[in-house]
Each structure stands twice: as C-alpha cells, then as structure tokens.
C-alpha cells in the first residue's frame, strides 16, 4: 500500500488518536495558582507549611501544577486572605479560620476555641468525627472549601509584665488577644487588644499593653518578648491546638481534575504533619533558652482556669441561642471531645503522666 493510501485508510484511527491525546492532557493540565498566606515569612514553621505543601503538589504532578506562595502583605494583608479567595483575587490561601470571627463566630471552631480539642483530637474530629463536612458546609457560604494546612499544638498563655495570681488580677489588664478568647476574658475584666505581631514588643515595652499572647516558645523567642515581660504563663487554654487551613475558591476547586484534588489532599496532610512535628521538635530547646535567659514560668491557677472556662461556656450558650451553625458544630465538637477524654484518661494521659514523673531516671 502506498504511503498516501495508508494514511487515508488510517484516517479514522488518526482522528481517534487526535481525540484521545487532549483527553489525557486534560487530566493533568498545566496550572499555576497563587497562595496568599496570613503569616509572615518570619514564622518559618507555619508559613513554611505552605511552602512544603506547594513543593509536594509540584513534585507529585511533575511540575504541571505549580502553586506560588506569598507572605502576608505581598498580595493582600494577612487578615484579608480569606476575602481574596472568596472574590477570586487568588485561588487559595493559608490562614487560621478564627481570624474571621467578626464575620461569624462559627469561624473560630475551624481553628480553636477556649477549652476545645487538643491537636490529635482536632485531627480526629476533622477526618473522622464529621468536622470536615460540617466546617466545609459552613465555608461554602463564603465561596471556599478547606483542606487542613498546619497545627501549632498547644500554645502558651502569653507574656505578662506582672504576676497573675488570682482572678481579681485580671481586672483592667490590657491583653493582646483576639477573637472569642478576647470575648471570654472581657467577661472577667480584661481589656482585649488586637495588635499585629510586629507591634507587640514596642507595645509591651512602652506599657501600652500589660500582656500579650503569641504562639509558643519557638516563635515567641524571635519577638524577644522575654526582654520586656518576664512572666511566661501556661497553658494557652484558648488554644489547646490551632489548626490552620488552606481555603480554596470553590469554583476553582470544583474545576480541578480529580487527580489534582487528590494530590492536594495528600499534600495538605503532609504539611499538617510537618508543621506540628517541627513545633514539637523546636519548642523544648527554645523554652530552655528562654528560662536560661531569665524567663519566669508560671502556671495559671486552677481558680483562673475555672473562671475562664465558666465564662467560655456561658458565651457559647449565648452564641448558640441565635446561631444555628455555631450550635451544631460546637455540639459536635463537644461530644467528640468528651468521648475522646474517656480514652485519653485510660491510656494517653496515664502513660504521659507516669513518663513525665519518671523522665529523669533514664
């Protein structure tokens, strides 16, 4: 058969091949997205989680799906990250949901609420306790869906210029703290202050504020807060953990090939584990350095914790009375937490308590 006749005879096959190639290409299209973070690069662990996420997505797709990560302020301010996703300015962001409680208190439940879950419980609730479905049903009202991004673990209770011995010492205290935790403390006489991280040190130094919470030893050490506020309190009962999320524009997410959605889910699980593991590794030596430099560790008294918990539960009841989203999700979280502590009391807590007491023996 002559070459021309062969090509004509194979015309149908050529047409079929021409259709098949684009179909394959559509499953792994070349995409470039932008991710704006609510965090500065100086927070190299929680901001670094986004960098790890973007790298994992690129590697899993042979660099066909690239996500460029921008620090807070490079595209929009950190507090506007979710808005940028909602209106389509960027495809996605990394943020903490509780930054947006001004829109709706329910946002706090995605990250942390006072006397809520610890980090492992939060992960378990998110993946197996209905948390992911409940929160994403809420988030879709704002035109985004969420994947887990990172977690800090239990945070510290903050830096204080004076000792806080009892509940009365909270009255009139100007405390850099925001969101629902600020609302809880306000019921005990605290004056909550919302101050960006970069302004905390000078505010404490000048006495504009009396205390400030940030994250934990590794991140707090970088701000040098121990030089202007000697008392370092624990635990951060308002953040037994702090889960960050990737908010993804809902239209952009729905348009992704299923393979890319799967890659993003896997990459998000990796970045979440990476971030929490790094904090667990870096906080102990940072705390040692702070104490060696003169930091005075102090525990919140049981009376203070009890008063704060009572105020928190009263606040949740008031919000739930007129906010069905908050009522439903808080109810789910509370039931899950109480069930979890049945197990932790038997196994995890008893083991950890013994090991803490005996750690100097070997």
Angle of CA points 240, 205, 286, to nearest 5°: 45
pLDDT tens-digit readout, 340-358? 999 999 999 999 999 999 9
- pLDDT of res. 25: 53
Residue 2 in this model has a pLDDT that exceeds 50: no
Q: Domain tally for the chain? A: 1
Residue 21 in this model has a pLDDT that exceeds 70: no
Task: Decide if 39 is inside a domain.
Answer: yes
Task: Decide if 60 is inside a domain.
Answer: yes
Task: Decide if 128 is inside a domain.
Answer: yes
234 CB-contact burial (10 Å; exposed 0-12 / middle 13-18 / buried 19+): middle
CA pair distance 101, 95, nearest whole angstrom:
13
341 strand-pairing partners: none
- pLDDT of res. 344: 96
pTM, two decimals, is 0.90
- pLDDT of res. 172: 97
- pLDDT of res. 114: 98
Task: Decide if 308 is inside a domain.
Answer: no
pLDDT tens-digit readout, 111-156? 999 999 999 999 999 999 999 999 999 999 999 999 999 999 999 9
CATH number of the domain that residue 138 is part of: 3.40.190.170
Task: Decide if 127 is inside a domain.
Answer: yes
Q: Got the DSSP string for 57-86?
A: HHHHTTTSEEEEEE-TTTSS-GGGHHHHHH
- pLDDT of res. 28: 87
86 CB-contact burial (10 Å; exposed 0-12 / middle 13-18 / buried 19+): middle
Residue pair 180/308 in contact by the 8 Å Cβ criterion = no
Among 15-24, 49-58, 75-84, 269-278, the least confident range: 15-24
Among 1-5, 60-64, 103-107, 299-303, the least confident range: 1-5
pLDDT tens-digit readout, 43-93? 999 999 999 999 999 999 999 999 999 999 999 999 999 999 999 999 999
- pLDDT of res. 26: 61
| Of residues 9 and 296, more confidently modeled | 296
**Coil, strand or helix: which one is 171?**
coil
Task: Decide if 226 is inside a domain.
Answer: no
Owner of token pair 């306000």 = 186
What is the average pLDDT value for the chain, to the nearest integer?
Answer: 92
Confidence class of residue 179 from pLDDT cuts 50, 70 and 90?
A: confident
Q: What average pLDDT does this structure show over 29-33?
A: 97
Structural domain span for residue 38: 29-151+241-281
Residues 6+ apart with CB under 8 A from 130: 332
Task: Decide if 186 is inside a domain.
Answer: no
Residue pair 143/362 in contact by the 8 Å Cβ criterion = no
Task: Decide if 98 is inside a domain.
Answer: yes
């Amino acid at each position: 058969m002559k070459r021309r006749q062969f090509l004509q005879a194979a015309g149908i096959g050529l047409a079929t091949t021409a259709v098949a190639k684009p179909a394959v290409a559509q499953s792994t299209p070349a995409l470039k997205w932008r991710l704006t973070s609510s965090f500065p690069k100086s927070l190299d662990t929680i901001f670094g989680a986004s960098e790890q996420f973007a790298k994992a997505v690129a590697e899993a797709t042979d660099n066909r799906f690239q996500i460029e990560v921008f620090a807070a302020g490079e595209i929009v301010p950190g507090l506007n990250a979710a808005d940028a996703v909602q209106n389509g300015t960027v495809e996605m962001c990394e943020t903490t949901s509780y930054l947006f409680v001004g829109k709706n208190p329910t946002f706090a439940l995605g990250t942390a609420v006072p006397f809520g879950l610890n980090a492992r419980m939060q992960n378990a609730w998110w993946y197996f306790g209905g948390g992911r479905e409940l929160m994403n049903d809420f988030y879709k009202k704002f035109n985004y869906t969420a994947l887990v991004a990172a977690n800090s673990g239990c945070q510290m209770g903050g830096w204080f210029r004076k000792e806080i011995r009892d509940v009365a010492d909270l009255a009139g205290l100007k405390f850099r703290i925001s969101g629902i935790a600020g609302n809880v403390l306000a019921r005990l006489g605290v004056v909550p202050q919302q101050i960006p991280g970069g302004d905390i040190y000078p505010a404490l130094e000048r006495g504009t504020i009396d205390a400030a919470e940030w994250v934990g030893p590794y991140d707090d050490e970088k701000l040098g807060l121990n030089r202007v506020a000697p008392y370092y309190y624990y635990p951060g009962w308002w953040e037994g953990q702090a889960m960050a999320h990737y908010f993804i524009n809902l239209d952009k997410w729905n348009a992704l090939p299923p393979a890319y959605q799967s890659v993003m889910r896997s990459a998000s699980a990796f970045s979440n584990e990476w971030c929490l593991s790094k904090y667990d590794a870096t906080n102990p030596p940072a705390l040692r350095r702070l104490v060696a430099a003169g930091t005075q560790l102090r525990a919140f008294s049981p009376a203070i914790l009890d008063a704060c918990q009572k105020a928190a539960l009263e606040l949740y009841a008031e919000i739930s009375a007129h906010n069905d989203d908050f009522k439903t999700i808080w109810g789910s979280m509370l039931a899950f937490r109480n069930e979890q502590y049945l197990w932790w009391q038997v196994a995890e807590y008893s083991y950890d308590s013994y090991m803490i007491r005996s750690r100097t023996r070997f």
